[in-house]
Amino acid sequence: MRSTITYFEEPGKCNSRETYDLARARAEELGIKSIVIASIRGLSVPEVLNAFSGSDIRILFATCDACNGCPRFLPKMIDMLEQEGHKLIHANEHAYPYPPEAEMSYRRFCEGMKVAVHLAIAVVEDGHIPEGEEIIAIAGTGWKDFVTGGGSDTAVVIEATSADRWWSYPATMNLHKTEGRKIKEIICMPR
């Protein structure tokens, strides 16, 4: 199997449409049926719906509960995504175990990688996707304290996994090497 990784020169919302197009293409190539997208306010909904128009891919928009001064997901965006058969879920960062060292390690790739891992755990913990299903998680650099942030600039093929299984190692080194990998592919990310 061959695949390419797209590296964006700059992080932020300027990469959103290309991120969605790349994710859709890869989902269709691999037969992935679910995509989870981090979106605090829902401003990405129209562009995402446009990018995935005509596909049978289920989209879960993941927001938080407006903590730490975050604005809430806009009601008109909820109506828009639900009319298209998609769903809004809440994936609060501190609802599931996430060791600070691991959080920082994923941030060394990019902010979106840290969020993608969180999303892959949240969808299982909250019962939206069965454990073990390959999904695509899409996230971004974030808009807080980053002027060109917001939108999406990171997409990965990742195994939806419970927090317990994500943060524990298989019993043997052989299993760790064969079953321990949960991030299957990087589709795109900022360089």
In the chain, the domains with their CATH numbers are 6-190 (3.40.1380.20)
Residue 21 neighbours by CB under 8 Å, 6+ apart: 51
79's tokens: 């109506």
Contact 65, 42 (CB under 8 A): no
Is the pTM here over 0.85, yes or no?
A: yes
Q: What type of residue sits at position 132?
A: G
**pLDDT, tens digit only, all 191 positions of the chain:** 888 999 999 998 999 999 999 999 999 999 999 999 999 888 899 999 999 999 999 999 998 765 555 667 888 999 999 999 999 998 877 788 788 888 888 888 888 999 999 999 999 999 999 999 999 999 998 766 666 667 899 999 999 999 988 888 767 767 767 777 788 999 999 99
User: Taking a C-beta distance cutoff of 8 angstroms, is the pair 17, 188 a contact?
Assistant: no
Tell me the Cα Rg of the chain.
16
Query: Which element (helix H / strand E) includes 63?
Result: strand 58-63
DSSP string, 127-185: TSS-TT-EEEEEE-S-STT-TT--S--EEEEEE---HHHHTS--SSHHHHHHH---EEE
Max Cα separation, the chain? 50
